[in-house]
Structure 1
Amino acid sequence: MNDVVVGFIGFGLIGGSLAHALREQNPKHKLTAYCYNRNKVNAGLTKALQDGVLNDIVYELEDLGECDLLFLCAPVLSNIAYLAQLKSILKPDCIITDVGSVKGNICKEAVALGLGSQFVGGHPMAGSEKTGYTNSSSRLLENAYYILTPTRETKNSITDTLFQLIKSLGSIPILLNPSEHDDITAAISHVPHIIASCLVNMVRKEDNEDKMKTLAAGGFKDITRIASSSPVMWQNICLTNTDSILRFLDKYIHSLNEVKESLQLNREAAIFDFFQDAGEYRDSIPNTSAGLLNKIYELYLDIIDETGAIATIATLLATNLISIKNIGIIHNREFEEGVLRIVFYSQNSCEAAASLLRKHNYTVYER
């Protein structure tokens, strides 16, 4: 894309990371963010303006009328509500996209409003429990899968333009239809978040003397980490991807009942197969180590996507006698941090590596 006007509604972790990446790749683009309350200081927008990431902050939606590309980065329900307000404001050739993790509802609404030809649903598979512009980075999107879901009316030229733009930012664009996307994310993201929160709440209700909290570590913290994510965001997701979530929740509940029955009837073979099948499938997922309940000594870090970047890190660790168990780029980093994941054989090695890499000015995230 040539020099364009890019607008943002919602400017947190994902919006900020997109803006960082766009600014680095296209310094002449005009980046503008909408602030719905001119009487309340928005620290993130102010900081982005000071950083030179944003060119302007506007307080009226009408001021987004000149946008060539508009990212909706607010919570899912808010993004849907904004479409109706934007219909009479945006240019007919303005590309509209969002970054929410539910696509069916907003794609249907875009078509119903007559915006289907210029709308492409978007979902960058990257993120963190940490929120806000201050935690954003262009590296967040690098080598991450970025799902695009055109509506049935989206012009091919608009889909192609957005596809190439996302690719130029260092992400890996993938085209899916909205319903397929929502089923996939329900199974691998939405239901797991519900399960993690259920586990935490179960322990919370039973932990009268805080003994469980005191002893909780390792496996429990690993499999419930995502329960720390934004409750507003997950409320929105549950209210907009309800059908898919309910379908996979039913399958999960059925699986739990099968395990319960096997335990009640002391079915040794069934219990063994249950754990074996789960372990084999999980170990087949790229960039994984042992099963969820085993202690994993890992760290994540940001690296520049250039030839030799991983080799440089591996050499640095090797020359300091730090052994690596596994290393690889993370493509699906939703609610994860860092582009590169490194697994070690021991806690001491992990801590030594983190210290060494920080001394060499790498940004390191520890688990």
Structure 2
Amino acid sequence: MNGNVLIIGLGLIGGSVALAIKKEHPDSIIYGYDLNPDSIKLAHMLQVIDDGLEDEQQLQRVAENADLIILATPVQQSEQWLDIIASWQLKQDAIVTDVGSTKQKIMEKARLLNNHNITFIGGHPMAGSHKSGVQAAKALLFENAFYLLTPFDGEHEDQVEKLRHWLKGTRAKFLVLSAKEHDELTGVVSHLPHIVAASLVRQALNSKSNQDLLQRLAAGGFRDITRIASSNPHMWRDILIHNKQVLLDMLHQWNEEMTMVTKMIEAEAEEEILQYFQTAKDYRDNLPTKAKGAIPAFYDLYVDLPDYPGVISEITGLLAKESINIINIQILETREDLFGVLVISFQTYEDRIKAKACINQNTSYETFIPA
């Protein structure tokens, strides 16, 4: 397939979608626009796009000849762009899509296009990275991740299939569902967990305990389970406002859940407390370990290391020799008299398995994978 593709928003997601399309459809022309001129220049320099657009007049001319327009901006900006795009004379067979984390409000606004017989199909690639910006874009960022599509009721299947074909290079798993179902599902597995993680961090911040000691103790498991609290605050502000009603309902349910736990503790209901944790453990243990979900998974490997100079570079050198990509590295100091545990994070399950085998074969250091 060839044609003109316009990406509005040249960050990690927009850039990665552009690279995936370019890889699968090399004869297509990828145009890019961003409110930040430096992002346009960088995307062009890195060959993420074929041509950068410098002003909105140029942008409109390209958009009106585009076969595919992708809004890769924060959800509130995407709503504003839909107002603008609706005033342009797009090709009748053009497809407009987005990559936002909420869908119902976007789909309501997109009726502006639908009323002009322009196809809009909501999209949400459920993958990300600890890095941001177009410089972090990768063609395979979405490989094996779920890519959710939310067409309007009655949308022609051939248009949905056409969008799938444009996005084939992502190597994602496409699922088609309603906007309402999308927001409810992502509310459970992504939006509410982000609220809870942020709340746990704030509770630690507001604790009357010794903060220096608390931060040292929180360096391990607490830091891991609250990792998503480090996500972009501006993005999460928009998501919470856009998915307001779903999240309010879930927060009411969460309050009821916490009230139940409170009562169990007050009553010292041993059997009920045991069953509470057992049910949660059983469900969690049956979740897929290799599949990508709503929250980007980073695969950690723990390595017990002796305390001598050069030991970390020895490990990283071994992994580099095997072309195993590391995305993060840290040392957990659980006791002052020990060097600590080296935690290495990988982007994929396969990289972690290869790294474990590599370290085990070439050293005597103990490695283990957290549950």
Is the pair's TM-score, using the shorter chain for normalization, greater than 0.5?
yes
Q: How does 1:36-47 map to 2 (within 5 A)?
A: 36=35, 41-42=37-38, 44-47=39-42
Change in 2 beyond 3 A, CA 1:234/1:55: same
Is 1:357 matched with 2:319?
yes
**Deviation, structure 1 residue 152:** 1.8
Once residues 248 and 116 of structure 1 are traced to their aligned partners in structure 2, the CA distance between those partners, rounded to angstroms, is 36
Residue number in structure 1 paired with 2:122: 121
Change in 2 beyond 3 A, CA 1:97/1:204: same
> After superposition, what is the alpha-carbon deviation per residue over 1:76-98, rounded to whole angstroms, capped at 9, x for unaligned?
11101110100122222210000
Once residues 326 and 302 of structure 2 are traced to their aligned partners in structure 1, the CA distance between those partners, rounded to angstroms, is 18
Once residues 283 and 176 of structure 2 are traced to their aligned partners in structure 1, the CA distance between those partners, rounded to angstroms, is 25
Where in structure 1 are there 5+ consecutive unaligned residues? 288-327
Where in structure 2 are there 5+ consecutive unaligned residues? 307-311, 328-343, 346-371
Q: If you compute each CA radius of gyration, which structure gives the higher value, 1 or 2?
A: 2
User: Which of 191, 216, 219 is the equivalent residue of 1:217?
Assistant: 219
Residue number in structure 2 paired with 1:62: 60
**Deviation, structure 1 residue 116:** 7.0
CA RMSD of aligned residues (A): 2.2
Bigger mean CA offset, 183-192 vs 354-363 = 354-363
Once residues 243 and 315 of structure 2 are traced to their aligned partners in structure 1, the CA distance between those partners, rounded to angstroms, is 41
Secondary structure class of the residue paired with 1:31: strand
Is 1:244 matched with 2:246?
yes
**Deviation, structure 1 residue 28:** 1.8
Letter in 1 for 2:319: L
**Deviation, structure 1 residue 217:** 2.2
Alpha carbons 1:128, 1:334 under 8 Å: kept: no
**Deviation, structure 1 residue 347:** 4.4
Bigger mean CA offset, 236-245 vs 51-60 = 51-60
Alpha carbons 2:190, 2:294 under 8 Å: kept: no
Alpha carbons 2:12, 2:135 under 8 Å: kept: yes
Is 1:104 matched with 2:104?
yes
> After superposition, what is the alpha-carbon deviation per residue over 1:135-186, rounded to whole angstroms, capped at 9, x for unaligned?
2111211111101110125332211111233334311111111100100000
Is 1:331 matched with 2:292?
yes
> After superposition, what is the alpha-carbon deviation per residue over 1:303-356, rounded to whole angstroms, capped at 9, x for unaligned?
xxxxxxxxxxxxxxxxxxxxxxxxx4x33264345xxx5x6575459x887653
User: Which of 43, 47, 69 is the equivalent residue of 1:48?
Assistant: 43
Higher RCO, 1 vs 2 (CA within 8 Å, ≥6 residues apart): 1
Residue number in structure 1 paired with 2:5: 6
Residue number in structure 1 paired with 2:192: 191
Once residues 304 and 252 of structure 2 are traced to their aligned partners in structure 1, the CA distance between those partners, rounded to angstroms, is 39
Alpha carbons 2:5, 2:66 under 8 Å: kept: yes
**Deviation, structure 1 residue 229:** 0.5
Once residues 333 and 262 of structure 1 are traced to their aligned partners in structure 2, the CA distance between those partners, rounded to angstroms, is 31
Is 1:159 matched with 2:182?
no
Secondary structure class of the residue paired with 1:185: helix
When the two structures are superposed, what TM-score results if normalisation uses the length of structure 1? 0.80
When the two structures are superposed, what TM-score results if normalisation uses the length of structure 2? 0.79
Alpha carbons 2:142, 2:171 under 8 Å: kept: yes
Identical-pair percentage: 35
Residue number in structure 2 paired with 1:277: 279
Residue number in structure 1 paired with 2:14: 15
**Deviation, structure 1 residue 216:** 0.8
Residue number in structure 1 paired with 2:368: none
> After superposition, what is the alpha-carbon deviation per residue over 1:282-303, rounded to whole angstroms, capped at 9, x for unaligned?
010000xxxxxxxxxxxxxxxx
> After superposition, what is the alpha-carbon deviation per residue over 1:215-237, rounded to whole angstroms, capped at 9, x for unaligned?
21222111100000101110010
